Amino acid sequence: MMIRSAAKTDKGRKRPQNEDALLRDDRLRLYAVADGVGGHEGGEIASARAVATLARVMQGASAASDDTPPQGVAPGDRAKLSLLQAAFARANGEICDEAARVPGLAGMGTTLTAVLLRKDRALICHVGDSRAYLFRAGELRQLTDDHSVVAEQVRAGKITAEEAKRSPHRHVITRALGIDREVESDERTTPVREGDMLLLCTDGLTEMVDDAAIARVLAGSHPAAAVDRLINLANERGGVDNITAVVIALTAR
């Protein structure tokens, strides 16, 4: 399977700076988005550090090992997921260290949602409320659970998804890198096939553009056109937050 990808981040229309960051590495088949929080320059520093550390750890591991397991063999996935998890833990530690060391950066943190493509599987590692989606046969499916107060209330059956969308607390996240020395990341593996698209995005997109509209954009679009359209749509609808989208299309050639 071939990969075509495109990625873009945009400040949006209301925020003075862009605290989102992204990673697009077609050689490693590694993609990520991060949404930083924290005063001063903290958010920007945390999200940039998260994606840079992820890339560095995965790059080093790829150089050190033969990365061509036989098709359909799953044990390697477990090792790669552990490696992603280790990269998340490393990024978390580095952000905590910097926040403790540099006055003004205390309290900075970031989401991080990453996908590593291996043959016919996507390996996903995730902390926070940025998202990974699978678009297949016209249908958009969220692959990550938001680590937010309202999403946890929805999963517990306490409020409905519609109530969550209107809640003033919808931006309060329950997990992030840089907050605690221990961070719990979610990992999953999902089968992918030719014709699938993957979308990674920050909440600046999903706050403005609902799943149905995202699906309409992805249908029949090349990744580069799709990321442009998604960011334009979010801005047309207000652009209240920084917006980041990474689109990966799996094609025959």
- C-beta of 125: minimal distance to Mn ion in Å? 19
| Part in contact with Mn ion (CB under 5 A); list of ranges 31-39, 43-51, 57-65, 141-149 | 31-39
Q: What is the dihedral of CA 147, 148, 149, 152, to 10 degrees?
A: -40
Residue with Cβ nearer Mn ion (144 or 202): 202
> b/e per residue, 142-166, with b = 16+ CB within 10 A?
ebbebbbbbbebbeeeebeeeebee
Which residue is it, tokens 């995730």?
126
Cα separation, 105 vs 175, whole angstroms: 18
Site for Mn ion contains 42 (CB under 5 A): no
**Residues 192 to 251: which contact Mn ion by CB under 5 A?**
202-204, 241
- The site map against Mn ion for 156-195 (x = CB under 5 A) is ----------------------------------------
Nearer to Mn ion, 33 or 96 (CB): 33
195: left (phi over 0), alpha (psi -120 to 50) or beta: left
Shortest distance, position 245 Cβ to Mn ion, whole Å: 12
Q: Least distance from C-beta 12 to Mn ion, angstroms? A: 9
Pick between residue 10 and residue 35 the one whose CB is nearest to Mn ion: 35
Q: 69: which DSSP letter?
A: P
Q: How many residues bind Mn ion (CB under 5 A)?
A: 5
Judged by CB under 5 A, the residue of 6, 32, 33, 35 near Mn ion is: 35
**Smallest distance from Mn ion to CB 188, Å:** 22
Q: How far is the CB of 241 from Mn ion (least distance, A)?
A: 4
Stretch 105-164 residues interacting with Mn ion (CB under 5 A): none
CA 32 to chain centre: 5
Give the whole-angstrom CA distance, residue 142 versus residue 151: 13
Q: Quote the least distance from Cβ 32 to Mn ion, whole Å.
A: 15
Cα dist from 189 to 32, 95, 129, 143, whole Å: 15, 27, 18, 10
Q: Which residues touch 193 (CB under 8 Å, ≥6 apart)? A: 1, 120, 136, 250
Nearer to Mn ion by Cβ, of 58 and 233: the residue is 233
> Using CA atoms, how far apart are residues 5 and 244, in angstroms rounded to an integer?
14
Q: Choose the stretch contacting Mn ion; rule: CB under 5 A; options: 25-33, 34-42, 45-53, 132-140.
A: 34-42
Q: Which stretch binds Mn ion (CB under 5 A): 28-36, 45-53, 95-103, 120-128?
A: 28-36
CB of 204 to Mn ion, least distance (A): 5
Instruction: Give me the residue label for tokens 């409905």.
Output: 160
Supply the DSSP symbol for 174: S
Residues that bind Mn ion (CB under 5 A): 35, 202-204, 241
